[in-house]
A and B are shown apart, each in its own frame.
Chain A
């Protein structure tokens, strides 16, 4: 029996899975396709995380350091698993860097891919310089200055459009990406903090700041940071003659068309299934659910399971997920893997 767990993906879920495996006295091997560990929060340059308010590079950085400094964890970056053979308790994975890994169980912390708003051309991303995504805006916040990319002016008005790449049958995204409402209200506060003269408007269909995020983010941004929430699904973003942008749509609550000038428009982009999921599904022999995320096993007694025994998953690989919950699920998946390996050892006697 192998006492090694292969963790695929070095983001919040994978890093916590590896840490749990190691803490349980087993060895972990982390395979990350990018050059650096940390996953989306690091690769996309997130600013302050929800809900801790801690900078991503500090918080996720600690998770990376914990795993890198752990003698029981082996790390392969810039590598993918290209072939998998074997069965629970005795898998052999071949990596793209030519190495092989023998492992008793596998945790897929393969995460998601940000929606590319070029697929909603009517909202101006890719056409106008001053139309950005939430991740680009996070990077701007990280850099500490809110400016229009086109000419460097301080924006008087910023519009954040929610549900870009979520809840939209037209583009086959029939899911809520769960965290964008909270992230957007957090971003609105960060913008106001850095640029007090900027007014932030959030265009929404619903506000889904679930659980304790309600008052901590939604109410706070509205009541203390004067974010304006406008109920309108935007039809299109166009250029006005004076270098600004025009946001067009129907204000649902006044039942009127709107054409409002803005300096910056931010797309609150959703979470797509990892673009590599077809490959991941083929290589690991795990099923995908109907939206293209990793299919979850029966959850009540097979937490963090997939359609294949011995292979577990966690976090945004299963569907849109928060960073905190991805971390918790990573721990669970790591513990499941270790526990099932113990069971195999006992059975073998």
Chain B
């Protein structure tokens, strides 16, 4: 399986990157944008998708500060 792991800062933790992007968008004329958060995308081929949550908890993310979402990107 081709998997995408979406990693984002945990809700409630100050995300200065998201804030900087949120402040920059109106400067280009884009209005009505809120709650911007900047995370990370990890793509990987895995034989056993059941292992993905454990991979996320133990290496791909730091569960203290990040949340993750696993997306099935179809077979590669």
Say if A and B assemble together: no
